A = this chain, B = another copy of it.
């Protein structure tokens, strides 16, 4: 994190959002969205996932989208991959950051990637070794994105000891950092504080950001809890697009517009221009017409006399 922002908002809409829309967003719209998001001040964008096209046809143009994002100065171009093949394709495309999804829930992991969590860790190790053999300039940072950390739609409660074990295993496998994802919208603020504290005790500054869903309306409440225990990176999706196709009912990333409004109102600098951010919605409405969009600030507007954090005394 550079010193001019307090919190990094990592936009995951082009990946987590689009992989759950019914329509294919035209590549040109994706380019516009990513460019506009970067121009609004978003510094990290998960632009796509490298997944089997049969399963998620929305990501057919992944390499093309990465190529465009790489032309934007200063942008951390991130992508997600569920397995070795996807990771290889992502590295070929030239992503700067690669997130590997590793589910802590065995049932979810098997349903999602047909691997047990331990097999997924072994896979991550291979991917990290592959990465380490690339020329230095072509090595992306690799994040273990632990999913179903706060509960699973199949198993219910997920063991916190298991979360900690998987976080440690991710680091031992060679991952640079570990993020914790509430894939299913099960997290509550008390649990968020407790689990992030435990994970930090286990892996220290290898602990990265939080990925919350708003399935039960607790997304921003969980952000407040995570901020308290020192989390400074949050995934979110413009217009709240997104969810997990393998966790029924678990729709809805937290909304970038609402997140940025909350953080800036709290005096936390995100580097994002809220006015510009709110205009991007139009690109989504044009690119995937009729697709449901969420968020409160886009409807209610900012508060009268709103001052971004950077402008505060």
Contact = CB atoms under 8 A, between A and B. Distances in A.
A71 interface: no
13 contacts: A151-B304, A151-B305, A152-B304, A155-B304, A189-B224, A214-B296, A217-B258, A218-B258, A218-B262, A220-B220, A221-B223, A224-B225, A249-B301
Nearest to A301: B249
B297 A261 contact: no
Interface in A220-265: 220-221, 223-225, 228, 249, 255, 258, 261-262, 265
A295 B224 contact: no
Nearest to A152: B304
A303 B151 contact: yes
Contacts of A151: 303-305
A295 B303 CA distance: 22
A148 B153 CA distance: 40
Contacts of A228: 228
Interface in A141-157: 151-157
A295 B216 CA distance: 8
Interface of A: 151-157, 184-186, 188-191, 214-218, 220-221, 223-225, 228, 249, 255, 258, 261-262, 265-267, 295-297, 300-301, 303-305
Consensus secondary structure, chain A interface: loop
Contact of A297 (B153, B189, B216, B262): B216
B216 A303 contact: yes
A188 B300 CA distance: 15
A255 B221 CA distance: 14
A8 B221 CA distance: 19
Nearest to A309: B190
Contact of A266 (B189, B215, B216, B303): B189
Contacts of A223: 221
A217 B301 CA distance: 11
Contacts of A154: 304
Given A191-B265, A297-B216, A186 B224 contact: no
A97 B265 CA distance: 34
Contacts of A305: 151, 156-157
The 7 A-B residue pairs with the shortest CB-CB distance, nearest first, are A156-B305, A217-B296, A188-B265, A190-B266, A220-B221, A156-B304, A217-B258
Contacts of A221: 220-221, 223-224, 262
A226 to B, nearest CB: 10
A7 to B, nearest CB: 12
Contacts of A156: 303-305
